[in-house]
Chain A
Amino acid sequence: MYGKKGKELIQEFAESEPGQLAAFNTDLVTQVLEECNSHFLHLNSLVRKMNAKTPAESSGANRPTQNDPHSNNESPDNSEPPEADGSTNTELPKDDNYHGLLIHHQSLTRNKRCLMAYVYNRAEVVRKLGWTLERVLPEEIEEKLSTSEKEYFKNHAATIQSYMSALDLDLGVDMVPPKDPYIKVRVLDDIGNVVLSDQLANLARHAILFIRRTDAEQYISQGLMEELTS
């Protein structure tokens, strides 16, 4: 069945967890591309057949000439005009060739849309990764990307970096704005007297502190503090 492979590709993406990537399905993509190519060949041959018939009927004279450069064009996209014009029912005979042409063309554009959706949605995830991860991709993610996606990530991360350095601001922190710039924490170990941004505080074990979120972050990540939620 035409278009089935393309559907599988989309399905695969839709079934994965949102925001997560499965490995780039090279096999399936290649298969879809092959299908596209075969559609294109069929399309070309059909167009030629129809062109061979139409010169007999005077009305379609200019159509084949318009069609030819398009079908020579590598991009299957540009083969749309004949179909559009084909809808002008009066001009073309509605024979087998005509319907074959229509089916092949529709399948071709559909496959193309599926491919684009697959690549675009994956690119979107890759772009998000550029915000949450520092420049380097962890291996388990990197092996799931295709070569061009890796390249895309690298360039995107570089762009973000240069933007942030121009702004002199780390935009990657607190992607969801915190409700409160302050945080209530419990100290889990004797840390001692520490300078917290502008204050001197004694971080003794079991103390409960209400301090700036930025001051607490490093200790929380080290496991020396825990956040208290009521």
Chain B
Amino acid sequence: MVREESIESFYTRLRDSALASASTSPLLVFPSTSDVDSLCALKIMGHVLESDSVRYACYPVSSFKEIYKYTGDNLGPAADEPITILLINWGCQRDLKKVLEIGPLARVFVVDSHRPVHLHNLSGQNDRVIVLYTRDDEQQADLAYDFDVSALANASDLNIDDDDFEDEESDSESENDDIEREEEEDRDGMRKKRRRASSDPVKLFGKLKREYYYMGTFHGKPSGCLMYELSHFLRKNTNALLWLACVALTDQFVHERLTDERYQAGVMELEQHINSSGNLDSTTSVTLKDGTKVTAPNSSRIAYEYEPRLMLLQEWNLFDSMLCSSYIATKMKTWSDNGIMKMQFLLGRMGFAREECKQKFQYMSIEIKRQMKDKFERFLPEFGLTDFYYRGFLLLHGYSSRVSAADVVYGVTALLESFEESDGSCASSQFGEAYDALSLTKLDKLETGMRQAIKIQRSILRQGSAAITKKGSIRSGSKFRWVKLEDSADTKLLCHPQALTKFGYFLMDALREKGARMKPLICVCYTQERSKVLIVAICGKPRLGAVQGNAFGVAFRSSAEETGAEFFHELFESSWIVLDAVAVNLFMIRLTQKLL
């Protein structure tokens, strides 16, 4: 398992390995169906592979073991043919060699923005897993280590050699949690002695490893941006790929997976790309037959601008978008009569007629559109909304159509998460829909997604305001709060990890406005059949210099194990878990005890 620090050499190795096994099987690509970033990365990687004539087969997956459905026995130790596999946006957090039982002839390449990377995946001792983890990414991460990760990773494999594999695994995972670790040490007296007795490298290693995993999970650079860098380096970048990179970065921004500082840095980097190599293939003027020159709309052009924190404006109207977007809704409490009055007062102060604001945004008067930014910036501070505008990306298509990257993220995420097992659609078919929606020519599918996103946001507002206003629906423990969603109409929309996460962030924002102390929030949502619950832990927006990411993963797993009920912890975020509905209360009790 090797850490590859440069994107170019990562790709060269990937290509060579794929070509070496091309005589028996194509390169197998497994993108995660859980986020838009993975789709963007897949599309860019696909473009690069296609231009190198590397044949591939791509199977979207939504959990760890799903990969077997497609590889069969070719991956395991019994396989007799070489095989090359690329995982996009999943996998690096867990010991892949062990979890996926990778045989000696298989090569697994990983492009993943999840952090931390499992040390066994980084270690140079074994070459079955190759992880792309650039030095820049390590240094600019939201959570910084004050030690050399590579050295630690290499040490970790040495430890395997004289240690029981199983033990090592459970140990390293349990580092997140103090209680668990102590139990572990009690069981394993040998290790305890070794740790206590010596101040030698072994003890240091244990300490560093604990530090490494104790930080919990967070996200690194978006895979889409990394892949764009690759295409840029290979001179295979196009405008369309650059747009995908913008969408990938915006995906992390929208789903609050990165700090403001890192978002700014990412935006600056992409703006440079837009200025230098973007929009080159667009013509701005056309010469007619008789020699007159007319300016023609660019076929499509990427622009960066200050964007309001209003959702899906192009598909919606200004009034409803203000009413439902998390930023304004939580600050003005638009679910209450008072809040709506306040919002109407704001619109009145800005001089926007109510009828105009309820008009579909596309048909709203140009005058208002033009004045919007000035007016918002002038009057919003009166209501305590100071950072309403953020730097974002737009795709301009001719004169008429303009899509913001954030809206694309909302729309495509909604498409990814709008399947129901009951009516036969599944994650991989929705992945195909989302794949199409991301291409610049199929805007109708994107619009479908955006309308779905509007439905989801409305139910977030409904359920969020209900939880805030109804006393006792948000329960508070010492280390976290938790909330349970039971309404069957809305749970249908919200019972998907990203939608539920958005709901959680909405609640956290609303609680912050109420002046509550910030604590992690756990959202529990019943599935359609009420037999299972989806549980998602949210730790708040990452901040620069924070000491901890989302550390619920291990606690989730051990609590679920203790309940004895069936559970599913194979989703691509360790803070997501699916549990038998009957065990919810027991699970929360265990979790509270663990995190006292």
On whether the beta carbons of A209 and B58 are closer than 8 Å, the reply is yes
Beyond A199-B24, A204-B59, A230-B240, whether A210 also contacts B72 by CB under 8 A is no
B57–A182 touching, CB < 8 Å: no
**Residues 165 to 188 of chain A near chain B (Cβ within 8 Å):** 180-182, 184, 186
B57 touches A201 (CB 8 A): yes
**Contact among B69, B439, B441 with A204 in the assembled complex (CB-CB below 8 Å):** B69
Does the CB pair B72–A202 fall under 8 Å? Answer: yes
Q: A209-B26, A230-B240, A230-B439 are in contact. Are A182 and B58 (CB under 8 A)?
A: no
Q: How far is the CB of A217 from chain B (nearest CB, A)?
A: 15
Residue A52 at the chain B interface, CB threshold 8 Å = no
Q: Contact check, A206 vs B428: say whether CB atoms are below 8 A apart.
A: yes
Q: Which of B184-192, B313-321, B429-437, B531-539 contacts A (4 or more CB under 8 A)?
A: B429-437
| Complex contact B23–A211 (CB within 8 A) | no
Cβ-based interface call for B390 (8 A): no
Q: Within 8 Å of chain B (Cβ to Cβ): is A119? A: no
Tell me which of B22, B58, B240 contacts A207 (CB under 8 A): B58
Residue of B nearest to A186 (CB): B432
Q: Is the CB of A184 within 8 A of B46?
A: yes
Cβ-defined contact, B439 with A210, below 8 A: no
Question: What 0/1 pattern do residues 271 to 297 of B give for CB contact below 8 A with A?
Answer: 000000000000000000000000000
Output the residue of B53, B54, B441 with the most chain A CB within 10 A: B53
CA distance A82 to B72 in the complex (A): 88
Q: By CB atoms of chain B within 10 A, which of A198, A202, A208 has the most?
A: A208
A200 adjacent to B24 (CB under 8 Å) = yes
B55 at the interface (CB under 8 A from A): yes
On whether A212 and B55 interact (CB within 8 A), knowing A182-B50, A198-B23, A199-B26, the answer reads yes
Closest-by-CB residue of B relative to A187 is: B57
**B56 at the binding interface (Cβ < 8 Å):** yes
Q: How far is the CA of A205 from the CA of B54 in the complex (A)?
A: 21
Q: In the complex, what residues of B have CB within 8 A of residue A209's CB?
A: 26, 55-58
Contact B70 A202 (CB under 8 A): yes
Would you give the shortest CB distance from A183 to chain B, in whole angstroms?
A: 10
B interface bracket (residues with beta carbon within 8 Å of A): 20 to 34
CA distance A207 to B432 in the complex (A): 8
Select one of B25, B49, B59 contacting A210, CB under 8 A: B49
Complex-state Cα separation, A193 to B28, whole angstroms = 14
Pair A201/B429 contact, Cβ less than 8 Å: no
Task: Name the B residues within 8 Å of A206 (CB-CB).
Answer: 59-60, 426, 428-429, 431-432
User: Most B CB atoms within 10 A — which of A180, A182, A206, A209?
Assistant: A206
Q: Which residues of B contact A202 (CB under 8 A)?
A: 57, 59, 70-72
- Cross-chain contact B24 with A207 (CB below 8 angstroms): no
Say yes or no: A210-B55 contact (C-beta < 8 A), given A199-B22, A199-B26, A201-B26.
yes
Residues of B within 8 A of A186 (CB): 432
Interface centre among B25, B69, B71, B440 (most CB of A within 10 A): B25
B429/A210 in contact, CB under 8 A: no
Complex interface: chain A residues within 8 A of B431 (CB): 206
Q: How far is the CA of A212 from the CA of B72 in the complex (A)?
A: 23
* B53-86 residues at the A interface, CB under 8 angstroms: 53-60, 69-72
Cβ-closest chain A residue relative to B54: A210
Nearest chain B residue, comparing its CB with the CB of A215: B55
For A182, what are the chain B residues with a Cβ–Cβ distance below 8 Å? 50, 53, 55
Which residues of chain A from 136 to 169 have any CB-CB distance to chain B below 8 Å in the complex?
none
Could you tell me the distance in whole angstroms from the C-beta of A213 to the nearest C-beta in chain B?
A: 11
Residues of A within 8 A of B60 (CB): 206
Q: How far is the CA of A210 from the CA of B69 in the complex (A)?
A: 19
Shortest distance from the beta carbon of B247 to any chain A beta carbon, whole Å: 14
Q: Are A210 and B24 in contact (CB under 8 A)?
A: no
Residue of B nearest to A206 (CB): B428
Contacts of A208 in B (CB 8 A): 46, 57-58, 432, 435
Q: How far is the CA of A204 from the CA of B67 in the complex (A)?
A: 12
Contact with A along B409-448 (1 / 0, CB 8 A): 0000000000000000010110110010001110000000
**Minimal Cβ-Cβ distance residue in B for A203:** B57
Docked pose: A198 CA to B26 CA in angstroms:
10
Which residues from chain A contact B435 at a C-beta distance below 8 Å?
208
Q: How far is the CB of A17 from chain B (nearest CB, A)?
A: 26
- Give chain B residues whose Cβ lies under 8 Å from the Cβ of A230: 43, 47, 240, 439-441
Q: How far is the CB of B11 from chain A (nearest CB, A)?
A: 16
Q: Which residues of chain B are within 8 angstroms of A193 by Cβ–Cβ distance?
A: 72
* A182 to chain B: closest residue by CB: B53
**C-alpha spacing A88/B174, complex, angstroms:** 114
Residues of A within 8 A of B429 (CB): 205-206
> Chain B residues near A180 (CB, 8 Å)?
50, 53
Q: A202-B70, A206-B429 are in contact. Are A211 and B58 (CB under 8 A)?
A: no
- How far, in whole Å, are A210 and B22 apart by their CA atoms in the complex? 12
Interface centre among B26, B428, B440 (most CB of A within 10 A): B26
Is the pair B432, A199 in contact by a Cβ cutoff of 8 Å?
no
Q: How far is the CA of A193 from the CA of B74 in the complex (A)?
A: 12
A101 to chain B, nearest CB (A): 48
A182 to B56, CA, bound (A): 11
Q: Tell which of B59, B60, B426, B439 has the most Cβ of chain A within 10 Å.
A: B59
A200 touching B50 in the complex, CB below 8 Å, given contacts A209-B58, A210-B55 = no
Q: Complex Cα distance A20/B320, Å? A: 56
For chain B residues 22-52, which have a beta carbon within 8 Å of chain A?
22-26, 43, 46-47, 49-50
Instruction: For A197, give the chain B residue with the smallest CB separation.
Output: B55
Given the interface pairs A210-B49, A230-B439, the reply to whether A201 lies near B25 with Cβ below 8 Å is yes
* Min CB–CB distance B210 → chain A (angstroms): 41
Residues on A with C-beta less than 8 A from B72 are 193, 202
Task: Please measure, in the bound complex, the distance between the C-alpha atom of A121 and the C-alpha atom of B43, giving whole angstroms.
Answer: 48
Residues of A within 8 A of B59 (CB): 202, 204, 206-207
**Cβ-defined contact, B432 with A210, below 8 A:** no
CA of A229 to CA of B55, assembled, Å: 16
- Minimum-distance CB pairs A-B, first 8: A206-B428, A208-B58, A209-B57, A210-B56, A207-B59, A206-B429, A230-B439, A202-B70
Question: A residues bordering B, Cβ < 8 Å?
Answer: 180-182, 184, 186, 193, 198-202, 204-212, 229-230
- 26 chain-A/chain-B pairs, Cβ below 8 angstroms: A180-B50, A184-B46, A184-B50, A199-B26, A199-B55, A200-B25, A201-B25, A201-B57, A202-B59, A202-B70, A204-B59, A205-B429, A207-B58, A207-B59, A208-B57, A208-B58, A208-B432, A209-B26, A209-B57, A209-B58, A210-B26, A210-B49, A210-B50, A210-B56, A211-B26, A230-B47
List 15 extra interface pairs beyond A184-B46, A210-B26, A230-B439, CB under 8 A: A182-B50, A184-B50, A193-B72, A199-B23, A199-B24, A202-B59, A206-B60, A207-B57, A208-B432, A208-B435, A209-B56, A210-B55, A210-B57, A212-B55, A229-B441
